[in-house]
Structure formats: C-alpha cells, structure tokens
Amino acid sequence: MKVWLLAALVIALSGTTARAADPRYPDWPCTQAKVPEISLAAVWAGPPLDDVQNKWKDDARVSALVAKLAARKTPLDEAEKSVKEFLAASGSDKTANAKLLFAGLFDTLNAQRSQVMNGLERVSRKQREAADKIREETLQLHTLQGATPRDEAKVEALSNELIWKTRIFEDRTKVVRFVCEVPTTIDQRLFALGRVIQQEME
C-alpha cells in the first residue's frame, strides 16, 4: 500500500474515533457509551449491603473466592457453580456470606472496569498524538517528493518511517476495538453472578 494511502487510512480511523466519543468524555474511544461506574441498583436487588462494606476483605475464604470469580479467565459457568457450592456450605451464615461475596465482587469488578477504561483513554490520547504526527510527516514527505533536486534517501527514510508508524496505529486501533468490549463483559459477569447469589439466598 502506498504511503499516502496508509496516512489517509490513519486520518480516517482517527476521525472515526473522534466522532464516536461522547462529548463529556473526549478521550473515550469506544462506540459503546461510557458508564464510569456500575450502579449497585442495576445489578443487585438483594438486602442492603451497607453493613458489610469492606468487611469482605477480612474474610480469607470470601476474598479468595472473589478473586477467582472476578478473573475473566474463570469461565462463567464454573464461577456460578463455585458460588452455589460456597453458599450451600455456608449453613446459617448463608445470607451474611452472600452479602459479603457480592460486596466483594461489586468492588473488585468495578475496579477492573475503571482500570480498563482508564487504559482505553490513555491509548486514545496516544492515538490522537500519533495521528497528528503522521499527518505532519505526510506533509513533509509531499514536500520532499516535490523538491528539486529530490533527495531520494530522505524520501525513502521518511516513507519507511510513515509505513511503520501507520501499521502501529492500525494495530492499536484493532486492539482498542477488542478492549472496548471488556467493560460490557464485566457488567454482564457481575449481573450474572449477582443473580445466582440472590437465587441461592432465597
């Protein structure tokens, strides 16, 4: 692909990202709306969690289970099975343990979401800077190509640099599109696990 076509692709991609962003969150690169935090009311209809707050961290069994359930490498069906087994073995402490478990999941998965979203916005800022640099160097290349006499070594060096930078930009754009799905996946995981916890409490 010719250098100018690659540069045009970068400009098009960066323009798409800019249009997709919510005006309230100028660095947000995803087509999905940015929801900074999951609302507790949206994922939990069980008893109030005010009395457990951060107490889940003090329970070694609960905190270990929260870490396992929150890990995206743990298949959701396996996570749901672990919730059922844990609460079934809780006896008279079932309600208290269920609340601790969900409080831990809510805190942990919200923190995961924030990390992912902050990372996406950092990459978005880098992509904007990269697109600006590519535009600037494309103009420099046009000037070099039209110069008389033409310095072929400089033209080739800048062409190669533009190709390399544009490919990095493209690769990052693909990664961003993939990572943009992660907050939604976390939302779905928390909702599903919350539903199982509430069902087991009944």
Q: Is the dihedral of CA 120, 125, 126, 127 positive or negative?
A: positive
CA dist 143 and 155 (Å) reads 9
Task: Say which residue the tokens 């904007």 belong to.
Answer: 128
Token readout for 56 is 């889940």
Amino acid at 157: A
Neighbours of 118 (CB within 10 A): 11
* Statement: residue 12 has pLDDT above 90: no
pLDDT at 2: 54
* Statement: residue 159 has pLDDT above 50: yes
Let me know: does 125 contact 27? Beta carbons within 8 Å: yes
Q: What is the mean pLDDT of residues 26-42?
A: 89
pLDDT at 1: 43
pLDDT at 119: 95
Q: Domain segments of the chain: what residues?
A: 3-24+52-201
* Percent of the chain's residues with pLDDT above 70: 89
CA dist 143 and 1 (Å) reads 20
Candidates 195, 52, 26, 188; CA nearest to 113 is: 188
pLDDT band at 97 (very low <50, low <70, confident <90, very high): very high
pLDDT band at 54 (very low <50, low <70, confident <90, very high): confident
pLDDT at 51: 83
pLDDT per position as a tens digit, 107-149: 999 999 999 999 999 999 999 899 889 888 888 888 888 888 8
CA dist 181 and 162 (Å) reads 29
Residue 135: phi and psi, rounded to 5, are -60, -45
Which stretches of the chain are DSSP H helices? 3-20, 40-43, 60-70, 76-88, 94-146, 152-179, 182-201
CA dist 132 and 149 (Å) reads 28
pLDDT band at 16 (very low <50, low <70, confident <90, very high): very low
